[in-house]
């Protein structure tokens, strides 16, 4: 099974609305590893790794966000995979 990894950045009303725990829950439910973190510029950023389909699903979740969030944009790009990572962490 081929694995891919993306780095992502979510713009909008995404801090203080449980965006990171929402992201972690979605990632775990579709079997991705990686992390999510709040950034001082007001965005949420991170990396996610898994199957192509899981990554596609994950990006759809990022575009939606939890109900309290208001996502204005999601940027993501493919990066090289990491081995030995387990779980999806909130940082």
Which residues are identified as catalytic?
Answer: 20, 38
Taking CA atoms, 31 is separated from 25, 37, 44, 57, 69, in Å, by 10, 19, 20, 11, 23
Q: Is 30 left (phi over 0), alpha (psi -120 to 50) or beta?
A: alpha
User: What six digits make up the tokens of 44?
Assistant: 């949420």
Q: Is 26 left (phi over 0), alpha (psi -120 to 50) or beta?
A: alpha
């Amino acid at each position: 099974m081929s694995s891919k990894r993306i780095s992502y950045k979510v713009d909008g009303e995404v801090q203080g609305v449980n965006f990171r725990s929402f992201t972690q829950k979605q990632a775990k439910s579709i079997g991705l590893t990686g992390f999510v973190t709040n950034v001082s510029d007001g965005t949420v950023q991170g990396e996610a790794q898994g199957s192509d389909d899981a990554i596609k699903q994950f990006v759809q979740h990022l575009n939606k966000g939890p109900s309290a969030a208001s996502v204005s944009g999601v940027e993501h790009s493919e990066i090289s995979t990491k081995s030995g990572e387990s779980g999806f962490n909130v940082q």
